[in-house]
Structure 1
Amino acid sequence: MIKDLLHSAPSLLNFGIYFGLAVLLLFVVLGFVTYGILSERKIMGFMQLRVGPNQIGGKWGLLQTVADVLKLLIKEDTIPKKADRPLYILAPVIAFAPAFMVLATLPFTEAFQFADIGVGLLYYVAISGISTIGIVTAGWASNNKYSLIGGMRAAAQMISYEIPLVMSLVGIVLLTGSLNLNDIVAVQEKVWFIFLQPIAFIIFMIASVAELNRVPFDLPEAESELVAGYHVEYSGFRWAFFMLSEYVYMFAMATLTTVLFLGGWNSIPFLDFIPAAIWFGLKFSAVFYLLVWIRVTFPRVRADQLMEFGWKVLLPVALANIFLTAIIKEIVSLF
């Protein structure tokens, strides 16, 4: 639908449509972040046998995160005297911009995708790693030892877990023969890749949690060790940009997991009457719930445990999965 509209429109109108869709996507993502945080708090409250937000905005606390956003926007913006001012100001933008850029190639349904490029999976992997530069820059520019340690941890963590994350996707590429996300969804029309690549799914989920800097891999912002980590010197809307980046990536990662392993918008047999958008939403919500469940369940690991697990466990298992997938595919092709 969107593709046909863009192809038939004149160039100037085409630009206007793209701009309008980008603004629409921004509002959708901001809405997700606002009520995704509220949903996370409610789920955590349910799992920990407590109520969660329930005061602002009626019984369910629907305006709690809206109030939090307003509070952050009007808080005093302070910049440390000895900070590297240009880099300090630029760091939150560097962290957020790639988070929004990766959404451009993610297909939400067959008719709703902003840019269908042939290497959408490669584009996501390449762009998503840029956010770490913003975190490292924030740690360095703050001229604070705690911030710098948090930034260095983020860089080490990204390098350590980006490799097994990419390796876990090689099996899917071998089975589909394409880096196009739409092709990957189409191949899963009958069988989802979570059943054909269960090891890759587990590795991908673990590595994606590490990429998101969430518990149990939130070493870059470990409050008990680094006060607040790389953003300890940030306040107000600049601090909000870092949190916004984290939750936008959470939105993107849940979407990518749905596309790669849960068949995207494909329905279960005999339930084809349910619209594709609802199928996608249900799968997306299940992944989001899983990410929150992991946060509530596991304690933070030590830095040495984090590195050892990435290099000594995830990477060898990911390589073994590629080898096993290639052998099985070759055996199946012979018959």
Structure 2
Amino acid sequence: MLIWAVRRFVVAPAVVGLTVLMWVSLPLWLVGAAALSPLLPGRWRALRVLWLVVFYLSIETVVLLIMWGAWFASGFGRTIRRPYWEGIHYDLVQGVMWVFFREAKRVLRLSIETDGPTPDAHPGVPILVCCRHAGPGDSFTLIHALMHWYGREPRVVLKDTLAWDPMFDVVLNRIPARFITPNPAEGEDLESQIAALADGLDENDAFVIFPEGGNFTPRRRDRAIARLRRIGMERMAERAESMIHVLAPRPGGFLAALDAAPDADVVLVAHTGLDHLLTVGDVWRELPMDKRIVMRWWQVPRAEIPEDRAERIDWLFGWWERIDLWIQQNRPEDLPSDRS
């Protein structure tokens, strides 16, 4: 409760105040950034970073004010979780994603390509979406793709650290979503929480989960392999060692969602182009980005998914091996450049 209060009554107002301060003092920031730009590698790097910060804070503040108004209009939050308001919040998220990606593509010269089944491949069928995790950018890109290109309303399982972003904290507590801790304390039943979120999916829904439990780093890869050995899964540890671009999947949450949504197909998602953008420092070093992001989608009909738990784990590992191979064959340096 204390953490929730700090996020809502300290962090959120601080973001709004910082946004106002940035706009009021923007001429000074612009002069400083312009003076620094010739001294830094990359074309107008300081100005690009400044604009992205101002732009993101502005989106955050506008969305927070809109959601504050929705809270009042819904009877001080009494009806905020009814379908009407849920639909409004999904529309708000979709609009924010469209604006954000449009500006990011312009400023950073990003291009996003998708390869795989079209929205027509899933008519009237809910889907469980399993995506590799290689940085915060892939979460945004995946949700953007699901909402704008596939016309889905995503239900998302995210790390609890993202709840410190006020916009995410508020909006994802008003639509079906879960903030979870990848390494929960004893007694926390995360699989039950995930199953509850996946229950009742309709033909317009997409349940989104990242089975690796965190962004890929070599250190996390080593820890994941060691964990498999520690719990006696030597064969899976050997398979995880053969995968060099992904972490060994943690199947518990995915299997819980699979049981809770018996009519859902499964969509596996791999991507390249955002692999090394894990921190603010990584983004700074990469600017100007000129990135080509490629997303590969595979649809697996429900009838092709095993029923036995052990066979399902083996099936998931097999798909992660396939995703690892696809990443190896489609690394950014191997893709044709679209730069002009």
Q: Please report the TM-score for the alignment, with normalisation by the length of structure 2.
A: 0.28
Flag the structure with higher helix content: 1
